Each structure stands twice: as structure tokens, then as C-alpha cells.
A and B are shown apart, each in its own frame.
Chain A
Amino acid sequence: MGERELIGLAGLVALFVLLALRVPVGLAMVAVGIGGNYALSLVVPYLRFDPFLKQFKTLLWNVVANYELSVVPLFILMGFLASHANLSRDLFQGVNALVGRLRGGVAMAAVTACAGFGAVCGSSLATASTMGRVALPELRRMRYAPTLATGSLAAGGTLGILIPPSVALVIYAIIVEASIIEMFQAAIIPGIIAVLFFLGVIAALVRLRPDAAPPAAPMDAGERRKALIRLAPVVMLFGAIVLGLGAGLFTPTPAAGVGVVAVLGYGLLLRLRGEGLTVSGIKLSVLETAVTSGMIYFILFGAEVLKGFFSRAGLPAALAQWAGASGLDPWIILIVMLAILIVLGCFMESLAMILVVVPFFWPTLVDLNGGDYASATTAAYGLSTDELKIWFGILALVVVELGLITPPVGLNVFIIASIAKDTPMGEVFRGVMPFFGVEIVRVGLLLAFPVLALLLPRLVAG
């Protein structure tokens, strides 16, 4: 390993030290990027510091002036507007009216509503937090066991990161230069599998321990009708966005723009019956969007600076070379990468992790697979580079989801435990373990059958 690569490696260590010291992720990335480039300029004369500094004249503007990325704040705004218009509540109550009478039905309704709300919200943490507040009181009222109630919500919350339109998928697609639409299509089947697995876990748990979910009294007919009437527009709205994106009927930015206007319009329409969006609700939605989008844009900028440093230091290439020369089976290396993502996912925000880790892992995978122009027949993973991009993206996001419920520090578990104040953290973790188990099975399925992710993009592409 040469001096350049050593500086790159020192930069990587410095990055993790800064992150561990609670330095904001974007700041740590920029600091390491600038410091690392300065160190490189001292050791390697042709990697001068001046030209690097001058790129700051336009770098930030170029990061934000990006048509494709405009989808991120728009989807975030749509999610917050939906939340303030109480669409998350309508979704949960509507699904509850349909399945609430089944044994474990309220928990099933919570997981299904998590999937639906996660689809428009795009963030697992926000889904867990919103649905936790909406569904937990009802689960308590129905005397569900705290482990089942909190475990379902913590696990259900993870669905937000994968089911399209997902902000994390957009960011991943931009990093590896994949088609955002194809990524969305690829996420649909694994997302549905997750929902079915989670529902299966709840059904199995209540069969084993019927007292965990007491049977619900029949819902009053009028109340049921009201809940279903409220569910219909939400399903149409969310369904149109998810299916339209999945079927390739529209591209992400128009979908997000139309979604924002549709949710805003529907939320204002609900004002006619004294509900829905108020002016202060709209303001709050915008301000919450500002916090989340500001955070994402800063990390994206940090990742751009850091990427420049690491590629100047030749670190991703060195890692790819090392992996190739190690003689290890490409599948073992892939599994190690996924394990690293799970561990990091326990501590790190998913977007930050994708931005830090994927630029390292991706060139290595491409090399192991047989290079940029690998064909499916000769490639180590049996996939062309374009399909590898899609498959790895889905796998990466699924294991990031897994990190969110991995003991001892899964972030979703912390969120649900903070909402369910009287349920100790240990109990939430105990509740989430069956879901963790089926998530591992899902990762295994995706590894064994890449077609689960690739089927829809292949079908749509014809």
C-alpha cells in the first residue's frame, strides 16, 4: 500500500472517530475531505491543494442545482403534509376496520399502515415515529401484549426505507448511476415480501400466545363505514403514486410534484369538515421538510467532497484490488459487506451510511463481478453490471432496514421505546426479534434469488 492509500485509510479512520464524537455527519465528511486533500498535496506533488479549493466556487451549487435530486425534498414535503393532514391515522383506522377483527388484526393493520405510510414518507424513522403515535394507543386500548405492540411497530417502521418512493433508493441510484425508476420497480416485490412476512409473524405469534392479542369487539357499523370512506382516497392517492412509479407510468419528479399538490389539495378539502390541513399544519410541514432536507443536502455535499478525496487517494480502487487478490469467494465478500452494513446500520442514519459506504463497496463488487462490461453468463454473481446495481441496492437497503431493529442499538427500537414510555427497551427488543428472524430469511431469499428484485424491472423493460 502506497502513501496515497495510507492517507486515504487514515482519512477513513478519522471519519469514524469524528462520527463517534458526535460531529454532524456532513461536517465530518467535509472536514476529512479537506484535511485529507491537504495531506495528499503534501505527499504527492501533482495533487495540488489550490485547484481542490477552487472547486468550492461551484461545488455546493452544482450539488443542489440538480433536477433529479429535486424529488427528495418534494417527497419529504408530501410525507409531512400527509402526516399533518392525518392521512396516517385514516390509513391505520381504515385498515383496522378491514382486518381489526382478526386475531392480531390491530397489529396487522399497524404493519400494513406502516407499509402504506412508509411508501409516501420515504423514511423509516419518520414512519416508526408517526405510526407509533397513531397505532400504539389503539394497540394498548385493545390490550395487546407490549412486546407484540411495540415489536410490530418498530419492525413495520423499517418498511419505509424500501417501498417506493424511497428517498434512500433515489440517493443510491444517483451514487451508482442507476435508473431511479428501475430501483423503485425492483423494490416492490421485496417490499411486499416483507409485509407478508411481518403479517405471518403476527399471525404465528398470536396462535402461539392467544393472550398477546385479545379478540376485538365488532366495530360499530357506522364507525366502520366512516373509516372505510376515509381510507378510499388515501389508498387511491398512495396507490397511484406507488403503482405509477412501479409501472413506469411517470418519472419521480412529476410523481412527487403531483403528490405534493394532491395531498395538499385533499388536506385542504378535509377542512370543509373541520379536519385536514390547517395553515399552521402546512407551515409545520414546510419547516419539518426544511430540517430533513437540509440534513440530507448537507450530507450529500459532504459525500461529494469525501468522494473526491477517497478517489484521489485511490482507496476504492485499492480496496477493489485487494478484494480481487485476496482469493476470497465473491459471495463471501458480498456477505461480509452486508454484515458491515447491518452493524453500521445500528448506529448510523441510513442515508449517511449509504453515502459513506456504497462508493467503497460498489467498485469492489463491479471488479469482483468481472468489470464494467461483465455479461450475465461470465459474471461472478451471474448478473450484468446494470442488474448488479439494482440487486445490490435492494440488498443494501434491506440490510440497512435490518440494522434499524438490530440489538442493542436499533434506531427504530429506540424511537418506539421513547413513545411507549412504560415499555422497557429490552421488551421492545424481545418483541422485535421474531421480525428480525424473518428479515434474515428475506435477505437469504434475495441473495439466493436475485430475480425477486429483478423481475419487475425486466418485465417493464420488456
Chain B
Amino acid sequence: MRAILEKIARWWALLGGAILLLIALVTVTNAGAFLADRVARSFGATVSGLPGYEDFVRLAISAAALMMIPYCQQRRGHVVIAFFVAKLPAVARRALDRISSGAMALLALFLAYWMWLGMAETEADHALSRVLGWPEWPFYLPGIVSLVLWGLIAAVQTLEPRGHG
């Protein structure tokens, strides 16, 4: 179970990274069009940028950002202040970590539940992005999957001592 979840989180994060690279490529194209427009204007012509570029970035980053969190949890990458408990016995530190991981699992699943409701509401409201006019609700889906995956990974970590992630 643990190995499968880790593999999924890794590939899910890589997919998020691929979206990030796509954003970078689209940004370069848009910036290129902007520069070409500057040049073309001196010859009386125009080159248009990508319509709805900011809309696209906003929607794409909403997916990419959340897709990275499960892997961050898997690597126990969330920032902690270790200084004050560094002198505690290992058993106590492990217990604190388990409680944190358990709370993290509950929080992730709590957020997944509410985001699911949010997606249903956004669909019912026919919410569209401002320029592209794309429906927003499908962009909630990667986030919900990410939150469930995050919750499952944190739940598995609750059962295991720190340092094996």
C-alpha cells in the first residue's frame, strides 16, 4: 500500500511539474509575441499575444500547485521547527510526529470534502474563467485527487516512525 501510494505521489508530482513546464512554454510564447509586436509596430503591423494567457496560467497553476503537495508530504517536506523538541527522547518525538501526521491526514480529507462541495457549487453556478470562458469546475478535480492522496499518505505515515519517508 505504502509503496503504491509513494509511486502515485511521485508520478502525480511529475505530472504537476509537466504542467509547470507547459506554463513556462506558454509564457515564453506569449512573451515572444509581445516582443514581436514591439518590432512589428515599427513596420505598421501588429502581432497579438495569446488571448487569455493569464487565465490559462491561473487555471493551470491551480492544478499544478496542489499536485505537488502529496509528494511534499511523502518526503515530509512541510516546514517544522525542530529546535525545541530536539532534546526530547526519540519515543516522544515519534509520538509528536504521529499525532501531526494523523492531524494532517484529517485536515487533507476535510479539505477534500469541502473542495468537492465547492466543485459541485461551481458547476451549478456555471462559473467560467474571465477571458477564455472555460468552465472552472474541472480544475477542482486535480486538487481533490491531490488532497485525497495527501490524506492517505499522511495516514500511512501516522502508522510509521519518522525518517522512513
Contacts and interface: CB of A to CB of B under 8 A. Distances in A.
Given A27-B107, A60-B143, A253-B57, 14 more contacts: A20-B81, A22-B84, A60-B111, A65-B58, A65-B62, A67-B57, A77-B17, A256-B27, A290-B13, A290-B68, A291-B68, A293-B72, A294-B13, A295-B72
A332 to B, nearest CB: 28
B106 to A, nearest CB: 10
Contacts of A57: 114-115, 117-118, 121
Given A65-B61, A294-B72, A295-B77, A260 B24 contact: yes
A26 interface: yes
A69 B72 CA distance: 18
B23 A294 contact: no
A64 B14 contact: no
Given A22-B97, A24-B79, A56-B111, A64 B85 contact: no
A67 B58 contact: yes
Given A250-B31, A290-B68, A64 B84 contact: no
B96 A257 contact: no
B109 to A, nearest CB: 12
B14 A286 contact: yes
Contacts of A298: 69, 72, 78
A428 to B, nearest CB: 16
Interface of B: 10, 13-14, 16-18, 20-21, 23-28, 30-31, 34, 54, 57-59, 61-62, 64-73, 75, 77-85, 93, 96-97, 100, 103-104, 107, 110-111, 114-115, 117-118, 121-122, 139-140, 143
A65 B20 contact: no
B59 A65 contact: yes
Contacts of A286: 13-14, 16-18, 20-21
A294 B76 CA distance: 11
Interface of A: 19-27, 30-31, 53-54, 56-58, 60-61, 64-67, 69-70, 73-74, 77, 250, 253-254, 256-258, 260-261, 264, 283, 285-287, 289-295, 297-299, 347-349, 351-352, 409
B115 A60 contact: yes
Contact of B72 (A21, A53, A291, A348): A291
B103 A23 contact: yes
- A interface majority secondary structure: helix
Contact of A74 (B23, B59, B78, B79): B23
Contacts of B20: 73-74, 77, 260, 286, 289
Contact of B65 (A23, A73, A260): A73
Most A Cβ at <10 Å: residue of B21, B62, B65, B103: B65
A261 B117 contact: no
A254 B68 contact: no
Given A70-B61, A73-B68, A294-B71, A56 B30 contact: no
A240 to B, nearest CB: 12
A64 B66 contact: yes
B33 to A, nearest CB: 11
Contacts of B110: 56
Contact of B61 (A21, A27, A64, A348): A64
